[in-house]
Amino acid sequence: MASILVTGCAGFIGSHLAERLLLEGHRVVGLDNFDPFYNRTLKEQNLATCLAHPRFSFHEVDLRRGLDALVDALPADPIEAVVHLAAKAGVGPSVQDPTGYLENNVLGTTYLLEWMRHRAIGKLFFASSSSVYGNTRQQPFREDMNLQAACISPYAASKLSGEQLTYTYHHLHRLDVLNARFFTVYGPRQRPDLAIHKFVRLLRAGQPIPVFGDGSTARDYTFVRDTVEGIVRGVHYLLTHTGVYETVNLGNSRPVALLELIAAVGEAVGEQPQLEFQPMQAGDVDITYADISKARQLLGYSPQTTLEAGLTEFVQWLDQTSWLEPGAVAVGHKF
């Protein structure tokens, strides 16, 4: 078994991943800065199971503080691979705060790569995003598509920049890298700003759902357990191969239109949705649609969770969870 550093371990995907790696027998070193994008208490709840595990250690570190902060926090932890999930997420907020997104997602990633170089850690799983494809007309999205003019939000640009940085370190320092483009992950512990989370809370409150656009925009929704399975398979691939530089889509390969999603959430909640249509948001795209043939071939990745089953599991979890966030607001699709 390996010793693996997971950045962003207190978040939605990161906490699920850390638990899964521990179940497999790995040692997990967790890192998070508890970004105030949403309530810290929720992230601490996410970490509760891991913190009780003897093979888990946690360090509160902000990557933007630079190489010295990482050196001070992790002076001697034996680490064989890094899963880099830490980032400021979301398309809409990045339009309002481009500097913050670039500082966190590009500069923070650069500091992490430099720390890995100094520590001679040679394996990196980098979490990218379907947003890098922008409004590309060719569908489904393939990893070998030309994305030079695709990004239409600072968040997308920051993620594509991260991929370019990982290639630079692969080329210069022989870092083995697997970039994974996530496609609209949902499920228990989902961030409270994301669409499905807000839809359920609005329905439970008997409030209408504001819809950006005409409801025809579509996303390739992927249940968190399937995404985590893809990450774990990616880590195993990195640990057993050398000379690696690959980019894969971790999606479901089934776009769901916004109106279809809202109807499915209504079914899961047992409420009839009421809709309020509003203009599209800046930076939003029309569709995301993953070609997952490369991930299937390279990693044996094969998502198993239907939208209906995933929504049911999410609603059950949310109904059993005490949430501290203020009331829901207008939403469209998020990445």
Instruction: Report the residue count for the chain.
Output: 335
Indicate whether 176 belongs to any domain: yes
At residue 283, the pLDDT reads: 76
Using 50, 70 and 90 to split pLDDT, how confident is the model at 148?
confident
- Bridge-based pairing of strands 81-84 and 123-129 is parallel
Co-location of 107 and 208 in the same domain: no
| pLDDT, the chain, mean | 93
Q: Is 48 part of a structural domain of the chain?
A: yes
Could you give the residue numbers annotated as active site? 155
How sure is the predictor about 324, in pLDDT bands with cuts at 50, 70 and 90? very low
**271: CATH:** 3.90.25.10
**Which residues constitute the domain of residue 27?**
3-183+223-250
Helix (H) or strand (E) holding 74: none
Distances in Å between the alpha carbon of 148 and those of 133, 241, 271?
10, 29, 43
Does residue 334 lie within any of the structural domains? no
Instruction: For residue 331, report the phi and psi dihedrals to the nearest 5 degrees.
Output: -140, 155
Residue 17 lies in a domain: yes
Q: Are residues 29 and 138 in the same domain?
A: yes
Q: For residue 49, is pLDDT > 60?
A: yes
- The whole-number average pLDDT for the span 178-198 is 95
- The per-residue pLDDT for 322 is 61
62 and 37 in a common domain:
yes
Please report, as a single letter, which amino acid is at residue 218: A
Total domains, the chain: 2
Neighbours of 60 (CB within 10 A): 11
pLDDT band, very low/low/confident/very high, at 55 (cuts 50, 70, 90):
very high
Ramachandran class of 43: left when φ > 0, alpha when ψ lies in -120 to 50, beta otherwise: alpha
As a 3-state breakdown, the chain gives helix, strand, coil percent values, each rounded to 5, of 45, 20, 40
CA distances from 149 to 93, 140, 146, 281, 323 (A): 21, 18, 8, 19, 40
Residue 331 near residue 181 (C-beta atoms within 8 A): no
Pair (22, 58) in one structural domain: yes
Assess contact for 6 and 17: CB atoms under 8 A.
Answer: yes
Stronger pLDDT, 286 or 291, i.e. the higher one: 291
Q: How confident is the model at residue 335 (pLDDT cuts 50, 70, 90)?
A: very low
**183: its two tokens:** 């496609």
pLDDT band at 294 (very low <50, low <70, confident <90, very high): very high
Are residues 172 and 155 part of one domain? yes
Query: pTM for this structure?
Result: 0.94
Residue 38's pLDDT is 86
Looking up residue 116, the CATH number of its domain turns out to be: 3.40.50.720
Check residue 75 and give its pLDDT. 83
Note whether 93 and 198 are same-domain residues: no
